[in-house]
Copies of this chain bind each other. A is one copy, B any other.
Amino acid sequence: MLTPYRMDTNSLYLTEQLNLLGVDVIFKSVVGDDLRRLVAAAQHALFRSDIVIFSGGLGPTEDDLTREAVAEALGVSLRRDPEVLHGIEQRFASHGWKMAPNNAKQADVLDGATVLPNANGTAPGQWIAGQFDGREHIIALLPGPPHELKALYESKVHELLRARVPPAFLAVRTLRVAMLGESHVDACVSPIYKRYTDVETTILAGAGEVELHFKTRAATLEAAQLRVDEVAGLVEDELDDAVYSRDGQSLEQIVGYWLQMRGATLAIAESCTGGLLAERITSVSGSSRYFLGGAVVYSNQLKTELAGVPAEMIERHGAVSREVAAALAEGIRYRCESTLGVGVTGVAGPTGGTAEKPIGLVFHAVAGDHGTEVVQRNFAGDRKRIRRFASTMALDMVRRKLM
């Protein structure tokens, strides 16, 4: 985790879980495989916090020092647990291998710790609760690989924590908004959420999407839920139909939901988004029920061949035009016999922009029974961001059409 290569996802996962139990995360640190530094980091953490979770460093190599460091920081000894050792030997035997001697250290357990069996790896987790430095502490050692850590947290650590942490009646609600800027959203809704000083509001923005998180605690779960629902409800009224989800669903899922609700099907013809729009729609499991497919029409010839756009229309108006966007939507709808057709054409950059048709110019069209709607936008940002914006815009147009 001290290399430039690995994104830290474990701490985000654990933070989410701990917050749900009403536990605030006040410090995270990443330390190298150095015993002296690890012991110092463990001591500081124990001094600072009531709950300390270590992840990683439970492997069999000489760089795996978490057990030793925590033992030293707590002033307890390690003992080799024969049952754990037997389990590790068994695990190797089941693959037809003999356990290498260095693996034995994975059976070293902190004095007083409970072993947390790890179904997905050789290194078990450990849990220890007790007085250190005259204060009650909870300490967990979890494996580093995210799928092992997550499985162990779900199967064991969550229950152990819940039994020890004072019950927190904590409620959260997430609203998601499409195609409004973060500062615009904040300007609209901050007068509302600022009145709720007991509710913690977080606003996060991506290309074309804004997330609002509301979190509060109260004397009962019902009271907390009522409180976040109240502020979320007022914010939703203010933002009106720009809010597309209230329970964490993605825009792709919401579009799928509405298509199924309406018994409708969708086909798309996309140029500058280059497959991203189809990829987002089909990332939802079960999307084959409403998504028929589509065409990625990068070349002008394919705009004609696969989506039926007349070649002379492309010649007259250019491939990036209101007319071609509409023709793509109508053509693919006709070709695929879908309820709705979507067309996207634009300049994603970094090359290909002109004074008349600059980088970021995108035309989005949705064709249906009652005609075709075309929206022009000029997005700022790099190729990746422009493509993301354009795909979000197209999804949001479909959503609004179906609502």
| A interface residues, Cβ below 8 angstroms from B | 1-9, 11-13, 15-16, 19, 24-32, 34, 37, 41, 44, 48, 202, 204, 211, 213, 267-268, 273-283, 285-288, 291-299, 301-302, 305-306, 335-337, 349-352, 383-384, 387
**Partner among B34, B202, B351, B387 whose Cβ is within 8 Å of the Cβ of A5:** B202
Q: Is the CB of A335 within 8 A of B306?
A: yes
Of chain B, the residue at the smallest CB distance from A298 is B293
Instruction: Report 14 cross-chain contacts, Cβ distance below 8 Å, ordered by A residue.
Output: A4-B15, A5-B202, A5-B213, A27-B29, A27-B41, A268-B296, A275-B282, A275-B294, A276-B282, A282-B296, A282-B298, A288-B299, A293-B297, A293-B306
Of chain B, the residue at the smallest CB distance from A335 is B305
Q: Is the CB of A351 within 8 A of B296?
A: no
Of chain B, the residue at the smallest CB distance from A294 is B296
* Cα–Cα distance between A19 and B2 once the two chains are bound (Å): 10
Most B CB within 10 A of own CB, among A37, A306, A351: A306
Q: Is the CB of A274 within 8 A of B282?
A: yes
The smallest beta-carbon distance between A347 and chain B, in angstroms, is: 11
Given contacts A296-B278, A298-B291, A301-B292, contact A12 B19 (CB under 8 A): no
Copies in the complex: 2
Q: Is the CB of A12 within 8 A of B5?
A: yes
Given contacts A15-B2, A292-B302, contact A350 B285 (CB under 8 A): yes
Of chain B, the residue at the smallest CB distance from A332 is B306
Residues of chain B lying within 8 A (CB to CB) of residue A15: 2-4
Residues of chain B lying within 8 A (CB to CB) of residue A278: 274-275, 278-279, 296
The smallest beta-carbon distance between A213 and chain B, in angstroms, is: 7
* Cα–Cα distance between A298 and B211 once the two chains are bound (Å): 31
Of chain B, the residue at the smallest CB distance from A291 is B298
Q: Is the CB of A27 within 8 A of B32?
A: yes
The smallest beta-carbon distance between A285 and chain B, in angstroms, is: 6
The smallest beta-carbon distance between A289 and chain B, in angstroms, is: 10
Residues of chain B lying within 8 A (CB to CB) of residue A6: 12, 204
Residues of chain B lying within 8 A (CB to CB) of residue A287: 274, 298
The smallest beta-carbon distance between A353 and chain B, in angstroms, is: 12
Given contacts A2-B26, A32-B26, A213-B5, contact A306 B295 (CB under 8 A): yes
Q: Is the CB of B296 within 8 A of A3?
A: no
Most B CB within 10 A of own CB, among A6, A267, A281, A293: A293
Most B CB within 10 A of own CB, among A19, A278, A286, A305: A278
Given contacts A7-B12, A294-B295, A297-B293, contact A30 B31 (CB under 8 A): no
Residues of chain B lying within 8 A (CB to CB) of residue A5: 12, 202, 204, 211, 213
The smallest beta-carbon distance between A274 and chain B, in angstroms, is: 3
* Cα–Cα distance between A15 and B48 once the two chains are bound (Å): 26
* Cα–Cα distance between A9 and B211 once the two chains are bound (Å): 19
Residues of chain B lying within 8 A (CB to CB) of residue A302: 267, 292-293, 336
Of chain B, the residue at the smallest CB distance from A31 is B27
